[in-house]
Amino acid sequence: MAETSFDLIVVGGGPGGYVAAIRAAQLGLKTAVVEREHLGGICLNWGCIPTKALLRSAEVWHLIQHADAFGFKVQGASMDLGKIVDRSRKVAGQLSGGVKHLLKKNKVTVFDGQGALAGKGKLAVTKDGKDVASLSAKHIVLATGARARTLPGLEPDGKLIWTYKEAMVPKEMPKSLLVIGSGAIGIEFASFYRTLGVEVTVVEVMDRVLPVEDEEISAFARKQFEKQGMKIHTATTVEKLEAKGNAVTAVLKGKDGKSAELKVDRAILAVGITGNVENLGLDGTGVKVDRGHVVIDEYCRTGEPGVYAIGDLVGPPWLAHKASHEGVICVEKIAGRNEVHPLNLGNIPGCTYCMPQVASVGLTEAKAKEAGHEVKVGRFPFIGNGKAIALGEPEGMVKTVFDAKTGELLGAHMVGAEVTELIQGYVTAKTLETTEAELMETIYPHPTLSEMMHESVLDAYGRVIHF
């Protein structure tokens, strides 16, 4: 019979939950994970990882279409949608299996089922309405993640109106697609389908695409998307979706107040997420829920003693790496480590894996000014970088924002090839509280894309060399 008494139980086996469990086990805590569906959570199974596999296939197709520019002639090339989707699912399956191995290696006990609080230090586990186990622990960490948000009149049906799940496993490629929402999820799907030849229309209620990004980066990205053939409507709402036959009719309302109909084969709803707060036994506890997310303090403690929450369940930014870091902070604090520091949201990078890629960390130029900073801003274009030109990727830019008085790096913003890999250089710099002086004195290898990071810093202080 499986053990039922633990030092710590994690409810949810996603990138927040399984990382928290492994770290807890490393710290000597007897640990269990309760997972109702699949280890690795949405990220590994239906989010971060399989979408990147799809986008990689789209990138390969893009290179085939432009092979002549690199000296190759490719004739008769065709795509196999089934194999593209199958590869994505296999990648997800491989990594989910890897999480199972890691938990076993670290002697974390895994329970298959739905976990719910059942009194102080108690957790009931059920599966398909049947009792699986009654567990106890001094510490219970809720890491149940989130799900796609829906809007009245725009409910997905799984056939013609999709959420991210259906969009990842299409049985056939639509000729036309409406993407509602231009955040990271919406734009990544828009990029994938457009690269594979679908007529894509993006509708965004805010006045620009990728609205959390720096305005310059957002504007640059939009031009590239439109150059690729995307149709983009900003400051526009979707008032209604009607699925009929094998098509979807959308009613769009622009900022001028006028409405227009758009008929497409499929629509994707990408308007944010809401926390999985239901069926957790929160009623009658001190756990507070605000706008669909659990409220926590700087060490992930809820209002109920002994109950903690991490990841997408507790709100933005909704990022796997944020969830993992919260998990580590939470269990290290529980274990009594003295050097634990609260999460600094300003040091969390954001990445969008569209074409071109977008990545950022810290304050945008506008936010820095709003916060009262006098700023120095540096910019450097991809066209001025030898490696970018050699790669055939001359479209992009790097932008850095500094405090004019102290030299503190306030924010860094990028658009272009491989910027989701490059951004970590600035994340490290911010975490180390680096100023412009150290960044300017750092030697960057040549020829690399990273040289643009150096040049952008130099540009902020009137010392740019190559542009």
Residues tagged active-site:
446
Q: Checking DSSP bridges between strand 357-362 and strand 350-352, what pairing results, if any?
A: antiparallel
Residue 142 near residue 304 (C-beta atoms within 8 A): no
Q: Look up residue 87 and give its two tokens.
A: 């590869």
Q: How far apart are CA 209 and CA 262, in angstroms?
A: 19
Q: Under DSSP, is residue 359 helix (H, G, I), strand (E, B) or coil?
A: strand
Q: Is 136 exposed, middle or buried (0-12, 13-18, 19+ CB in 10 A)?
A: middle
Half-sphere exposure of 157 (CA within 13 A, CB side): 14
Residue 96 near residue 45 (C-beta atoms within 8 A): yes
- Residue 150 is which amino acid? T
Q: What is the dihedral of CA 442, 445, 451, 454, to 10 degrees?
A: 0
Half-sphere exposure of 370 (CA within 13 A, CB side): 5
Q: Checking DSSP bridges between strand 231-233 and strand 237-244, what pairing results, if any?
A: unpaired
* CA distances, 152 to each of 149, 189, 234, 255 (Å): 10, 22, 20, 20
CA 345 to chain centre: 14
Taking residue 312's Cβ as centre, other Cβ atoms within 10 Å add up to 30
Q: If you compute the radius of gyration of the chain from its CA atoms, what whole number of angstroms results? A: 24
Q: How far apart are CA 266 and CA 251, in angstroms?
A: 14
Q: How far apart are CA 13 and CA 35, in angstroms?
A: 5
